[in-house]
Structures are given as structure tokens and as C-alpha cells.
Structure 1
């Protein structure tokens, strides 16, 4: 025979503990702080109620330290009625998306440096991207190499030229996803 839990029995948790409630409230407060730091155009893309949106905008305009602290706590309180998981998901997408974009730009930079150093890199690139304008890339690489040579001979304090270096980067960027270089 099983024994029914009594109203004072701690073995049957029917509600979260005080500590868990505090953790949840602090998590919502931290999420509210992140929202206050976002630009307005990003805020409009989130599933926020009108009152929460206005509270965030007021916090962004508040200059007083104590006033800002109070307003952020109010935002945290309003976050209890918001869809926090949807907001967290969108913030994660934005954060990881920018990491992926940064990684793609780094791959393009590496490819550009490889093209300026190694003649065989252009052959590999043209094999992977047959629609690329080979003549334009050859010209940009040749001019980029000349530019690098002139920049190496500059006196201290003189500004290096980067016109063809940047143009080669833009040409590679326009090819789409650059292949990973070894």
C-alpha cells in the first residue's frame, strides 16, 4: 500500500523551491539586460509585448545609474510574461550567425593571402569556381603583388596602399562561399 503525501511532506515537490524561483528571475533579469543593449531595429524583430518594448526603450534612454537599474529590474519583471525561450533562441541565432559570417570572412582573407603568395592557389580557385572571371583575378593578384612590393619599400610613417588588396578581397567575396584552404 502506497502512502499518500501529506501537505507538509517535502518528498512531493509540487512547486519550485525559492532558490529555483530566484534563479529563474535572475535569468530573466539578465535576458532583460541583454535586450536593453540591443538596437531598436533588432528589438522590433523579437516577440515583445508593447509594454515590454516601451520599457526597454525607456531603459535605453535613461542616463541616471539608479534610474537605469530600476528600469532594468522593471524590464526583468515584465519578462515573466514574455516568451523568454523564443527571445533566447533569436538572440542565439544572431550571435552564432555573426560568428559564422566572421569565420567566412577569415576564410576569404586566408584565400586572398594564399593567392598573393602562391600561383597554384589561383588554379585551385578556378577549378572550384569555374564561373569566376580568371582575367580579373589574375590582374588583381598581379597588382596586389606590386602593391605589396611598393608597401614593403615605404619609409616609416608613410601610409601603405591597399587598393588592389581590398579589391581582390571583394572579388573573392563576390564568388560566394570561398572553399577552405589547406
Structure 2
């Protein structure tokens, strides 16, 4: 009977060891995500100078395989001694912003394609959603794009139309 109790104790230790390992791997992964960020995005992260220095070093030695691997492990260890919730939150917000921008970008591409295909009706629809847009400018870009397409010229006006739609939508 006594032996069984020891066995239960071992199971608990195994669970907590594997749990610790999973947590350590999650911290390591979080560190790796930070290392992959651009300078601008990294500046927005709520991290201390010591961790920032370690991340920047990893970015500098990225092409030195063994040193980079060790530096990532070091960052992972550093992460274990920090409250990483604010960092994870900031990364999540950064990702969501990117997804929202992608969705808007695709919506604007659809507007552009519809305007190029349908003209005034589609322009009216865009103005309904974005009343601050300039109807004259939209019509002018539409006409230029039609002309360029008929003449087999590069679609400069179509690109200009997309740029204008993006300007209007992201103000």
C-alpha cells in the first residue's frame, strides 16, 4: 500500500515537470516572436532594457546558428523571470491591427475593382460608405483608368484610384 502512495507522488511530479517544460517552451516561443519583430514594432513592446539588449543581440547574430540558438535560450530564461502577460497582450494587439489592416486593404481592392467595372454606381456606393471622398476625383480617376485600359497602357490611374481610396478610408 505504501508503495502505491509513492507512485502517486511521482505522477504528480511528472505532471508538474512537463507543465514546467511547456511553460518554458511557451516563454521561449514568445522570446522568438520578439526577436522576429522589426525595430519599430519592438519599440512598442513593454520590455525592459536588459531584455531589449538581449533581443537586439540575437537579431545581430541571427546568421551565426549556434550563437543564435544559445541567445534564444538565454532570452527564454530571461522571460521566465518576467511578467510576460503585458508582452503577450501587446503582441496580440499588434497582430489584430495587422489583420484589420489586411481586411480593409482587401475591401478597398474590391471597391477599386467594382468602380473600374461599374463606374458611377460603384462610385456612389463608395461615397455612401465614405462621404468625405471627392466625387470628382473618383470620376476623373475612373475615366483615366478606362482610357488607359482601352489604349493598352499600364494601369497607373487604377493604382492611383486604389491609393486615393486608401487615403480616404484610413483618415
- Cα shift at 1:116: 0.9
- Cα shift at 1:7: 10
- Asked whether the equivalents of residues 58 and 68 of structure 2 are also in contact (C-alpha less than 8 Å), the reply is yes
Cα gap change, 1:53 to 1:127, in 2 (>3 Å):
closer
Alpha-carbon separation, structure 1, partners of 2:130 and 2:49: 48
SS at match of 1:92: helix
Aligned to 1:73: 73
Instruction: Tell me the matched-pair count.
Output: 163
TM-score relative to the length of structure 2: 0.83
Q: Any residues of structure 2 matched to 1:38-77 within 5 Å, and which?
A: 38-62=37-61, 63-77=63-77
Aligned to 2:111: 111
Cα gap change, 1:130 to 1:66, in 2 (>3 Å):
closer
Aligned to 1:134: 135
Structure 2 gaps, min length 5: none
Q: Any residues of structure 2 matched to 1:135-174 within 5 Å, and which?
A: 135-151=136-152, 160-174=153-167
- Asked whether the equivalents of residues 46 and 90 of structure 2 are also in contact (C-alpha less than 8 Å), the reply is no
Alpha-carbon separation, structure 2, partners of 1:36 and 1:124: 44
* Cα RMSD after superposing both structures: 2.4
Alpha-carbon separation, structure 2, partners of 1:166 and 1:27: 43
- Cα shift at 1:97: 0.9
TM-score relative to the length of structure 1: 0.79
Alpha-carbon separation, structure 1, partners of 2:52 and 2:137: 49
SS at match of 1:31: helix
Cα gap change, 1:128 to 1:77, in 2 (>3 Å):
closer
More helix by share: 2
Alpha-carbon separation, structure 1, partners of 2:35 and 2:132: 45
Alpha-carbon separation, structure 2, partners of 1:78 and 1:44: 18
Which digits, 9 at most, give the CA deviation of each residue in 1:21-49, with x for residues without a partner? Answer: 00000111111111111123322222222
SS at match of 2:151: helix
Higher RCO by CA contacts (8 Å cutoff, separation 6 or greater): 1
Cα gap change, 1:136 to 1:86, in 2 (>3 Å):
same
